[in-house]
Amino acid sequence: MRPAGLLLLLTTGCYRVSFDVEGDRAYMNGTINTGTPEQFAALLADNPGLAVIELEVVPGSVDDEACLAAGRLVREHGLSTHLAADGEIASGGVDFFLAGVERTIEEGGMVGVHSWSQLGGPDGEELPRDDPEHQSYLDYLSEMSVTEDFYWFTLEAASANDIHWMSREELVVYDVITP
């Protein structure tokens, strides 16, 4: 069962990310899409003192390449990411969160992972580990100082049509949160 916030975004078709800025913090909601890197770059240009991206309800992405590009902007600008106790992120939202130089999650914040899928092709968990399709994700995680074990965990934790909500212990073991 999905939490209400993610279910609302998924059923209402909210495929646009929004950012609300308060001081040095930007609050992020919505689904990461093709326009997100450009939107995020504009956010950075308009708010040079930005230090933290707080993800509120970010259920994923509809464009993996755009998601990774936006994440790289987070890292390039030395920003931290945060998930509050009532926050919910999943799938590509987790990939974006991992870009934070410092990553914090309050007790109660929900982090959902699953295997990726490609239209008309096999899902990530169906491919052998040496398949080149995995490499862009492995490279990204390496850039974000996250163990590759996390990637394999996400593929095995739930199929592309399901979700696994990570425990606090899993968040620590797989370097989702920084010490």
Mapped to the 3 state alphabet, what secondary structure does 22-33 carry?
A: ECCEEEEECCEC
* Residues 6+ away with beta carbon under 8 Å from 121: none
Residue that has been written with the tokens 């996400």 in this structure = 154
Residue range 87-138, pLDDT digits in tens: 999 999 999 999 999 999 999 999 999 998 877 778 899 999 999 999 999 9
Identify the three-state secondary structure at position 172: helix
Residue range 41-68, pLDDT digits in tens: 999 999 999 999 999 999 999 999 999 9
DSSP string for 45-74: HH-TT--EEEEEEE--BS-HHHHHHHHHHH
Domain ranges (residues) in the chain? 4-173
At 88, give phi and psi (nearest 5°).
-140, 120
Tell me, rounded to whole angstroms, the distance of Cα 60 from its chain centroid.
Answer: 7
Instruction: Quote the pLDDT of residue 11.
Output: 40
Instruction: Quote the pLDDT of residue 119.
Output: 74
pTM score of the predicted model: 0.91
Question: What is the Cα–Cα distance from 115 to 151, expressed in whole angstroms?
Answer: 9
> What residues form DSSP beta bridges with 19?
28
Q: Which CATH fold topology does 4-173 show?
A: 2-enoyl-CoA Hydratase; Chain A, domain 1 (3.90.226)
With contact defined as beta carbons under 8 Å apart, do 140 and 68 qualify? yes
With contact defined as beta carbons under 8 Å apart, do 114 and 137 qualify? no
